[in-house]
Amino acid sequence: MNPNPRAGNRFSVTSIEAQQAEFPTVNKEDELKAKEFEVMMLQEENEGNTPRNILEEIVWNKDVEVAKMRERKPLSSLKKSLENAPPTRDFLGALREANRRTGFPGLIAEVKKASPSRGILREDFDPVEIAKAYEKGGAACLSVLTDEKYFKGSFENLEAIRNAGVKCPLLCKEFVVEAWQIFYARVKGADAILLIAAVLPDLDIKYMTKICKMLGLTALVEVHDEREMDRVLAIEGVELIGINNRNLETFEVDISNTKRLLEGERGQLIRQKDIIVVGESGLFTPDDIAYVQEAGVKAVLVGESIVKQSDPGKGISGLFGKDISL
């Protein structure tokens, strides 16, 4: 196997051209040129041809995985499946409504079996049962991990939860490297999808946000530091930003990250643009929730602390210090 799948796949100009040809609405020559340059810079940064950290390893594997999946189900066949797909549900609306109803940040509860940093979080893992318990416990939306190799998730889980009649809108928690994955997530029942700024160049975020809108999906754009936040704030059309308290390269978690990124002019700009911010990762107690709420978030994304409880629905009351179900 090519030790650097990135070089031969996502970042090759031919694959970008091919992708853009499939989405003619966003096909611009100067965008392609700028992207070519960005790719060149990225490749120059890494001449060693081995992943420098876990995030890079995940993304390199993802490139290979997606190329194989796309071969089995090309975009044309995904588009066909979309003709009969049920409409998407309003992810942003559900977060706003929960925030209004409870006075707490709207909860995106994560269906998460394992992670590379924490190992297995729950042995008896029934995704549909957990999803139903979250919904009953007052979650506004759910996040479903679909990465198999590192998080033991799957698209089958996403599909099963959607088909089980769970009404909470669903976030597909993936490492998106190609637009094809957005179509796939939509076919499998997602209402929203994660786009990680540490993985995607600005032009991809811009272009993928447009594709999400076209498909009726909400894009949750995730940042971890000031630089990524500033990049994302300069991209038009972003409505939902997640601040990850976990550094995906080192696994270090620090919830003061959310506060730092919302201070001063950044916070002002976010309010001006009416962007909803999600506080992500490392939230365990009512004090943690109060802390990020005080910092300015209108939503939170929580996995570990609630998925580990024998009744994940009750885990939600524990997290908020109050029953937030209807």
Ligand X SMILES: O=P(O)(O)OC[C@@H](O)[C@@H](O)c1c[nH]c2ccccc12
As given in the structure block, the two tokens for residue 297 are 């978030």
Smaller CB distance to ligand X: residue 293 or 305?
A: 305
Is 135 among the residues that bind ligand X (CB under 6 A)? Answer: no
Q: Which stretch binds ligand X (CB under 6 A): 29-37, 67-75, 99-107, 278-286?
A: 278-286
Is 304 among the residues that bind ligand X (CB under 6 A)? Answer: yes
Residue whose CB is nearest to ligand X in the complex, by number: 303
Cα 255 from Cα 77, distance rounded (Å): 42
Smaller CB distance to ligand X: residue 99 or 245?
A: 245
Cα 212 from Cα 231, distance rounded (Å): 19
Is 281 among the residues that bind ligand X (CB under 6 A)? Answer: yes
Closest distance of CB 117 from ligand X, Å: 9
Closest distance of CB 147 from ligand X, Å: 7
Is 288 among the residues that bind ligand X (CB under 6 A)? Answer: no
Q: x/- string (CB under 6 A) for ligand X, residues 51-70?
A: --------------------
Distances (CA, A) of 220 to 45, 267, 289, 299: 27, 18, 20, 12
User: 281 near 245, Cβ under 8 Å?
Assistant: yes
Is 303 among the residues that bind ligand X (CB under 6 A)? Answer: yes
Is 282 among the residues that bind ligand X (CB under 6 A)? Answer: yes
Could you tell me how far CA 218 lies from the centroid of its own chain? Answer: 10
Residue 253, phi-psi category: left (phi > 0), alpha (psi -120 to 50), beta (remainder): beta
H helices, E strands: number in the chain: 16, 10
Give the one residue of 60, 88, 99, 110 binding ligand X; rule: CB under 6 A: 110
User: 313 near 133, Cβ under 8 Å?
Assistant: yes
Closest distance of CB 305 from ligand X, Å: 6
Closest distance of CB 221 from ligand X, Å: 11
User: 164 near 128, Cβ under 8 Å?
Assistant: yes
Distances (CA, A) of 4 to 9, 46, 181, 317: 9, 10, 20, 45
Is 204 among the residues that bind ligand X (CB under 6 A)? Answer: no
Closest distance of CB 170 from ligand X, Å: 15
| Contacts to ligand X from residues 164-193, by CB under 6 A | 173
| Contacts to ligand X from residues 237-256, by CB under 6 A | 244
Is 312 among the residues that bind ligand X (CB under 6 A)? Answer: no
User: 161 near 152, Cβ under 8 Å?
Assistant: no
Q: Which stretch binds ligand X (CB under 6 A): 17-25, 88-96, 287-295, 299-307?
A: 299-307
| Contacts to ligand X from residues 206-235, by CB under 6 A | 222
Is 301 among the residues that bind ligand X (CB under 6 A)? Answer: yes
Alpha helices, DSSP H, located in the chain: 5-8, 13-22, 29-45, 54-72, 75-82, 91-102, 127-137, 155-163, 179-187, 202-215, 226-233, 256-261, 264-272, 286-295, 304-307, 312-320
Residues binding ligand X (CB under 6 A): 110, 112, 173, 222, 244, 280-283, 301-305
